[in-house]
Every structure is written in C-alpha cells, then in structure tokens.
Structure 1
Amino acid sequence: MDWDKLRIFHAVADAGSLTHAGDVLHLSQSAVSRQIRALEESLGTTLFHRHARGLILTEQGELLFDATSTMAKKLETASARIRDSEEEVFGELKVTTTTGFGTLWLAPRLVKLYDRYPDLKIDLLLEERVLDLPMREADVAIRMKEPAQADLIRKRLLNIRMRLYATPEYLARAGTPQAIEDIAAHRLICQNPATPQVQAGAQLSQRLLAFNIPSTLTVNNYFGVLQGVLNHIGIGVLPDYLTSDFPDLVRVLPDVASVEVPVFLAYPEELRQSRRVTAFRDFVQEEITLYRRAQAEGGTTAD
C-alpha cells in the first residue's frame, strides 16, 4: 500500500471530513478525495460512508484505521526517542575485542555501564580476527594494535606487556625462579605460539619454550591461561592489565616481558555523533583512568 495514501486516509478518518483533513495536510479537498478514491480502488473496497454531516468509516475502514493508528503511535514514539537521543542512550551496540581483553578486563566492568544505561544492548564479539568497522561488522573495536582501516576515529588507550605470573601457593610448592633459564624447572602455562594472538605474546612464549620445558599447558586464549595459573598449575604468560583485578598474583622474573603492545579504541567516522558509541567510549576511558590509578598505587605504571 502507498504510504502517502495511508497517511491521508488516517487524517481523513481522524478528522471525519475531507475539508478538515485537507487543512491539516495542506491539501485541497479535491486532492484528498482523489487519494481516498485511489486507495479504495487499490484495496477493492469502500472505506467511508458519505453522509451530509461528514464521513463514517465502514467496517473495512475501521480495520484500516486501527492499523494506521498503531503505525502513527509507533512513529510518534520513534520520533520522540530520536529527538531525545541526545540525552538518552539505548539500543544495540556491537563491540569487538580480543578474547583475552574482553573476558578478563572489559566484561567484568560492564555492570557499571549497564547501571548507567539500563536500556543499552551490547553484543560483545570476542575473537582475534579484526572485524571490518567501515562495513559495520561491529560498531566499536578495542584492538591490540592501531587499526589500519580508513575512515576510523581511533584513540590510544594504554600500552600493555605480557609478563609471567604465578600464585603464592604454586611458588611455595615449586620455588621461585631467579633467572630465565630456571623456567625449565617449572610448568609453563601459555598460549600455543601458533594460536592466533597478539604477536608480542607469541614471541615471549616462543622464547620461554626454547628452554625445553618438560611440562607445559597450552591454551588458545588468555582466559584459559589465567584459570590454569589461579589453580596453581604453573607459571603463566599473561597480559599485565589483569593485575589490578587479581592483586594476589605474583609477578615472576620481573625483567622478563614482551615488547609493549598498544591498545586502541576505534569506531567509524559516521558514528561520531552516536550516543551509544560516545557513552561506551567515555566509559572505557573512565575505566582506563581507574586502572592506571590502581596500577600506580600498586607500585607499577601503565603507559
């Protein structure tokens, strides 16, 4: 059905008069009448009974008026929400990041974002593959390197390193290595270097595995590595952004670390005015500030 004809029909049914509807729509009475006749012909039915005192809906006309009334209310609600969207944050936001950062750092903090914006719907896409933001595979990305795609707004959040961690319980049982070659006497927990991951982490794991460690546990993401470490299985290669949330972990061999890895937040230029994106960006930056403060108070620094 023609949307313009439905709009005119709704105005006529609401006003009960071609003349009054024409005044509302800024159309002549004859133009309104022609549109109503055309709609009736397309539907093969009569929508109005014509009387001297005005127009009365037929049974079929009442059915159509119920439908157009529902449409009008939904459109009015949508229009109001669009007007109010400068102050409100709602709807779906697709966020992509790595499995490690998403599970270990981002997801545990999202409760604060939901408390602030209870109508927000976040679709969190955790994978090592870099999704295409300009093609809207995701709205926002947090990646472990600067995005190379064009037409993106990007902000460097912090730098991280992969380091070695263990629990006090494990170290009390197995001893604390004093030099990197001592790692051969311990069980190493890390990602398999062939697994898709941050290159700096893979390089550190390769360096450690070169010491012919007799017993290892390899996992395909840092969440699994962390679980192995927390359960006292061995010494794990983990990103240092998790230390503020797991303060009981002991950093082993402080001089052994990966190269710095920059963490970037990025989103398409076309979403610059999106309230959802702005709210998420500001939330992440606030949490990064709190993280830096916790790192500084704990005696370490985040670049």
Structure 2
Amino acid sequence: MEWRSVQFDWNRARAFLVAAEEGSLSAAANALGLTQPTLGRQVRALEQELGVELFKRTGKSLELTASGFELIEHVRAMGLAASQMSLAAAGQTQSIEGVTRISASEVAAAHVLPDVLGRVRRTAPQMSVEVLATNSTSDLLRREADIALRGFRPEQPDLIARRVQDSRVRLYATPEYLAQLEQVDGQPNLLAAEYIGFDDTERLIDLLNQHGLSVSYRNFPLLTLNQLVQWEWVKRGLGIGLMLEAVGDLEPSVQRVLADHDPILFPSWLVAHRGLRTSRRVRLVFDLLVAELG
C-alpha cells in the first residue's frame, strides 16, 4: 500500500482513534465532547487526506477496513504519547489553581467524599474539583481522572497507590421486609430472601456464600447498575442490599441483617499517575484524601 505525504492533523487522527474504539460516531462524539457531524467531518477529512477508506459503515456502527486496521495501532501509540506528554506537563505545575478530577463509585462520591471536598474548599478555595461518580474504572493514563478511589490495587507500573481504611459494608433491609419472610427458629429465612444485585452479581453471590449465606441467582430477581438506586430500593422494602456501615446504620428505615456478624471488609486504594504526584494541586488533594480516609 502506498501512503501519500500529508499535513498531519492530530484532531482528525484522534477522531479516528476514538471512533474505532467506541464503534460508532455518536459514542465517539459523546466521548470527545463534540457534535456527531463535527466528528464525522474530521474522520472523512482524514480519509480524504490519506486517500483510503478507514471504516465500513454498517447502519450506525463502524467497522475498520484493512487500511484502518493497518493504521490504528500507529495512531493509538501517538495517543498514548500525547497523554504522557500532557501528564508530564501537568506534573510540573506548582499552581493550586485549576480543576482536579476525582473518580469514585457512586456511593463513595455521595457519602465518603463530601467531607474531603469541604476540606479542599477551605484549604484551596481557588481550586475546583470535578467528581466522576462512576462504578467503572477510570483510565488515569488517559487523563480521565487525576485521582481514583478504587477497591483494588492497580497493576500498571506508571500508577502509584496508597491503601486507606477498608470500607465496612453490611446487609440491610427494612423491618417490614424481614417480617414477611418465612421464619426459621424465630429468625427470617435469609436463604429464601430476595437480594438486589449489581452488574457483577456472580461476585456478590460468592461473597455472600463466603459469609455463610447459600444463595444463588434465584435470590437476585432485581438488578441495577446504580448503587444509589439499589440503596433506595432497599429502603423501599424491595429486598436485601449492601451498604456502607456508616451510611446504613444512620438510616432509620432499615436495620442490619445478620447484626451479630462482623462487617464485610472491602479494601480501598487511592490511585494517581506517578507523574501527577509532583503537581502541587493534585498532591494537595491526594494528601487530604489520605488524611480523611486513612
């Protein structure tokens, strides 16, 4: 294949990369904060500059052509290099102005971070904080966030992690829901109860079985990917669900299930890119998170 010499435009190459990764123009436009027509024009302009077709359009989906496959790894390497340059530049700043992005689960964002955010506002009122409340793992290497609060230790060598206090989690339900269950020796039959599942119900089943509850998929007739919705369902008496002990114990409409058992402990890790630890702004937020959560 012959490639013609072209004037390089990174915006067009990035549009091609994200469109390939997302699989559609609409998803790629949303990821880049562009309109779909704008992103489509960038991809078409790159195709015209290179003189090749990069995608096959099948309905609303995109499939890479042979030429697209040949180019995508080169563009992906360029994207990683651009991210590394951005990280290196961000790590050199000594200003505490600007935006620091924190990624955390929905429950952590709603119930764990507020105290930390208050301290940040008092310590550095000129700084802004953006919280990404998501149960997905944010890509710190691509600057989706500066800091992440996670339930696992990262394996990438470019990320650093600090373990903070484990999350104490318990099962909760309304007294009315527990009262309607079949009673065994004066206690609710939890093996016949209904539990509210997450996206990874298999992991939750394994976890409950490890704590003495022999449950299966039949015990999970309701599923939601949103932790705050799950908690609201528990408070409405739809079943048994997990919640942070500090949150559940303060909710008057529910009570502990298996109150005489120890809480379930989940590890918590603060994660940041190694280069960003030299940023005064990010380091300030990181250290405040350690002090508040440690």
TM-score tier by shorter-chain length is: 0.5 to 0.7
Does residue 1:210 correspond to 2:216, yes or no? yes
Does residue 1:100 correspond to 2:103, yes or no? no
Q: Give the Å deviation of 1:234.
A: 2.8
Letter in 1 for 2:154: P
Deviates more, 1:141-150 or 1:227-236: 227-236
Does residue 1:166 correspond to 2:176, yes or no? no
Residues 208 and 269 of structure 1: is their aligned pair in 2 closer, same or farther, counting only changes over 3 Å? same
For residues 281-300 of structure 1, what are the structure 2 equivalents within 5 Å? 281-289=286-294
For residues 260-279 of structure 1, what are the structure 2 equivalents within 5 Å? 260-279=265-284
Q: Distance in 2 between matches of 1:250 and 1:180?
A: 14
Quote the residue 1:137 is aligned against: 144
Out of 266, 276, 285, the residue aligned to residue 280 of structure 1 is: 285
Quote the residue 1:128 is aligned against: 135
Q: Distance in 1 between matches of 2:223 and 2:140?
A: 31
Letter in 1 for 2:131: L
Normalised by the size of structure 1, how large is the TM-score? 0.53
Letter in 1 for 2:166: N
Letter in 1 for 2:216: A
Gaps of 5+ in 2: 1-92
Whether the aligned pair in 2 keeps the contact of 1:164 and 1:257 (CA below 8 Å) is no
Residues 111 and 169 of structure 1: is their aligned pair in 2 closer, same or farther, counting only changes over 3 Å? farther
Q: Give the Å deviation of 1:147.
A: 0.9
Letter in 2 for 1:155: R
Q: Give the Å deviation of 1:186.
A: 3.6
Deviates more, 1:133-142 or 1:215-224: 215-224
Deviations 1:12-37, CA, capped at 9 Å, x for gaps: xxxxxxxxxxxxxxxxxxxxxxxxxx
Does residue 1:201 correspond to 2:207, yes or no? no
Deviations 1:81-103, CA, capped at 9 Å, x for gaps: xxxx86x7321011112233223
Whether the aligned pair in 2 keeps the contact of 1:177 and 1:183 (CA below 8 Å) is no
Out of 233, 237, 258, the residue aligned to residue 232 of structure 1 is: 237
Residues 92 and 128 of structure 1: is their aligned pair in 2 closer, same or farther, counting only changes over 3 Å? same
Residues 165 and 202 of structure 1: is their aligned pair in 2 closer, same or farther, counting only changes over 3 Å? same
Whether the aligned pair in 2 keeps the contact of 1:160 and 1:241 (CA below 8 Å) is no
Residues 174 and 281 of structure 1: is their aligned pair in 2 closer, same or farther, counting only changes over 3 Å? same
Whether the aligned pair in 2 keeps the contact of 1:181 and 1:211 (CA below 8 Å) is no
Q: Give the Å deviation of 1:219.
A: 1.6
Q: Distance in 2 between matches of 1:258 and 1:202?
A: 16
Whether the aligned pair in 1 keeps the contact of 2:171 and 2:242 (CA below 8 Å) is yes
Letter in 1 for 2:233: G
Letter in 2 for 1:269: R
Residues 180 and 125 of structure 1: is their aligned pair in 2 closer, same or farther, counting only changes over 3 Å? farther
Quote the residue 1:119 is aligned against: 126
Q: Distance in 2 between matches of 1:208 and 1:222?
A: 23
Whether the aligned pair in 1 keeps the contact of 2:205 and 2:215 (CA below 8 Å) is no
For the pair shown, the structure with the greater C-alpha radius of gyration is 1
Q: Any idea what SS the aligned residue of 1:134 has?
A: helix
Residues 217 and 266 of structure 1: is their aligned pair in 2 closer, same or farther, counting only changes over 3 Å? same
Q: Distance in 2 between matches of 1:191 and 1:179?
A: 30
* Identical-residue share of aligned pairs (%): 27
Whether the aligned pair in 2 keeps the contact of 1:161 and 1:260 (CA below 8 Å) is yes
Give the root-mean-square deviation of aligned CA atoms. Answer: 3.7
Q: Distance in 2 between matches of 1:257 and 1:204?
A: 14
Q: Any idea what SS the aligned residue of 1:128 has?
A: coil
Deviations 1:132-167, CA, capped at 9 Å, x for gaps: 323323211111100111122210012235431124
Q: Give the Å deviation of 1:274.
A: 1.9
